[in-house]
Structure 1
Amino acid sequence: MTLVVIGPVTSDLVIIGDEEYRKVGGATYFQSFVFEEFFNDYLAIVNCSDETMVEDFPDLGKVRVIRKEDTHFFVNRYPDRNNLDIREQLSNFANIPILPNDLENVLPDDIDGFVINPLNRYDFPIETLDYLKSFDVPIFLSVQGFLRLPDIEANGNYTIKLDDFDDLPHILSGITSIFMDEAEYRLIGGGHDVDEMVITDGSNGSRIVSNDEIRIGAVRCENVVDTTGCGDTYMAAYITQKLQSKSSKTAGKFASAIASDKIVNFGPYNSNK
């Protein structure tokens, strides 16, 4: 049985204060390091134009590439080094959808569940989501990509604005857990046909909403280095615990601790650091 993690790998420019770094990114990339450590039976499926981008993944044997004509590009700028909760983002809004026929030949025979990581509305068309739902396994979904729209053009890239999505009720119907931040929650609200909603809020912690609400405090750390991918790391850590039948409270506490471990070093989660 395998957990299948699907979503774009990205080319990122990270700007923290006056320092710049170019690196591989994307939710599936950051999550693969957590799954490698805590849920070893996983497969990462990514879409991009350059297969060499996956060379930074922790285990190349667990990565499949769907070749497309473009690659997602993001600029993540943190203007205040002392407050990495504040981020300014740009994206090229690559239109490289993952289609059912892209997945048919790369999915394993036995599947534990899916982790779906859209970075914009193009990534997972309705027919792809319906195809994945037909496997009747748990689905863990990051909402943010469906809410993102291009706003102001800047040197060929666009600032990002959030807006509701007419197809969102259909997209979320039957999903096991959906993940978002507080800004995204304010936009879509509750009342969706999902088992639970997991809402993160940076240094303010997180909360899990199902029949009731569980609040999880952030694990404090003295030296915050890099928060890019922190929410993705939290999501993956949370999923590893839920797949082991842990409670939502236990999963949230564990995810908060792993996210805290991630942000004290640059790049993805690394237990050796």
Structure 2
Amino acid sequence: MTLVVIGPVTKDLIVIGDEKSQKVGGATYYQSFVFDKFYNDYLAIVNCSDETLVDDFPDLSKVRVIKKDDTHFFINKYPFKDNLDVRQQLSNFADIPILPSDLEGILPDKIDGFVINPLNRHDFPLETLEYLKGFDVPIFLSIQGFLRLPDRQVNENYAIKLDNFDILPNILSYVDAIFLDESEANLIGEDVHVDEMVITNGSQGSRIVGASETRIDAVPCDNVVDTTGCGDTYMAAYISKRLLENSVKKSGDFASKIAAEKLKNFGHF
């Protein structure tokens, strides 16, 4: 059985104070390093035009590329070196949807679940979600991409704003668990029809809302180097433990620990 992780790989520019660096990014990229360590039977499927981006993945034998005519580009700007919870994010909003026809022939025969990581509203059309639902396995969704819109008032090309999505209830009807942060939870509300909401809040910890609410403390980190991809790392660690042990509290505590380890290094876990 295989956990299938799907979503764009990106070209990222990281700006911390006045320091700039370029690297590979995207939720699927960050998550692959966690799954490679803690849930080895996984397959990462990415969509992009620049296939060399997958060279940085931990195991190329576990990556499949859907070749498109564009690649997602992100700028992550952290204006305060001493407070990396504050971030401004910009994107080119690449329109390169993943379609059922893209996935046919590359999915494994036996699947444990899907982890889907849209970076904008183009990435996963409803027809693709319906197709994945047909496999009758758990679907874990990072919801932020569906909430992203270009903020034309700030920057004609790249600025991002978050807004609710009128077909969000349709999207949620296909998934079992969603991952988001507190600002996104405030935006969509918590009265949503999913089995589990995993809500992160940076250094303030996280909480898992299902039949009841479970609070998870953040693991202290005295040397925060890079927060980009921390939420993606948390998500992958949570899913890894959740599928293996089926415990909300153990999964949250484990995810918090792994996310703290990621914070100590520039780049992936």
One fold, TM greater than 0.5?
yes
Q: What is residue 19 of structure 2 aligned with on the other side?
A: 19
User: Matches of residues 32-47 of structure 1 in structure 2 within 5 Å?
Assistant: 32-47=32-47
Aligned equivalent of 1:112: 112
Question: What residue is the counterpart of 1:249 in the other structure?
Answer: 249
CA apart distance, 1:246: 3.1
TM-score (norm 2): 0.98
Shift in alpha-carbon separation, 1:106–1:153, aligned structure 2, 3 A: farther
Q: Within 2, Cα distance between the matches of 1:259 and 1:157?
A: 31
- TM-aligned CA deviation for residue 153 of structure 1: 6.9
| Structure 1 alignment gaps of length 5 or more | none
Note closer, same or farther for the CA distance 1:99–1:253 as it changes in structure 2 (3 Å cut).
same
Residue in structure 1 matched with residue 133 of structure 2 by the alignment: 133
Q: Secondary structure at the match of 2:53?
A: helix
Q: Give the match for residue 212 of structure 2.
A: 212
> What's the offset of the Cα at 1:174?
4.4
* Contact 1:169–1:192 (8 Å) recurs in 2: yes
> Alignment identity in percent?
71
Is 1:90 aligned to residue 90 of structure 2?
yes
Q: CA deviation at 1:191?
A: 2.2
Deviating beyond 4 angstroms after TM superposition, the runs of 4 or more aligned structure 1 residues are: 153-156
In the TM superposition, 1:1-273 aligns within 5 A as: 1-152=1-152, 157-269=157-269
Q: Is the 8 A contact 1:175 1:193 kept in 2?
A: no
* Distance across 1 between alignment mates of 2:156 and 2:163: 21
Q: Is the 8 A contact 1:174 1:193 kept in 2?
A: no
Give the alignment's TM-score, normalised by structure 1. Answer: 0.97
Checking the alignment, whether the CA contact within 8 Å between 1:92 and 1:156 is kept in structure 2 is no
Secondary structure class of the residue paired with 2:89: strand
Taking structure 1 as reference, are residues 153 and 33 closer, same or farther at Cα in structure 2, changes over 3 Å only?
A: farther
Amino acid at match of 2:166: D
Query: Does structure 1 retain, via aligned residues, the 8 Å contact 2:97–2:122?
Result: yes
The amino acid that maps onto 1:185 is: A
Q: Count residues in correspondence.
A: 269
Change (3 A) 1:63 1:153: farther
In the aligned structure 2, how far is the partner of 1:193 from the partner of 1:95? 28
SS at 2:47's partner residue?
strand
- Residue 199 of structure 1: SS of its match in structure 2? strand
Q: Deviations over 1:103-143 (max 9, x none)?
A: 00211111110000000000000000000001000110001
Q: Is the 8 A contact 2:129 2:174 kept in 1?
A: no
The whole-number CA distance in structure 1 between the counterparts of 2:242 and 2:2 is 14
Give the AA of the match of 1:28.
Answer: T
Point out where structure 2 has 5 or more consecutive residues left out of the alignment. none
Query: What is the CA RMSD across the aligned residues, in angstroms?
Result: 1.1
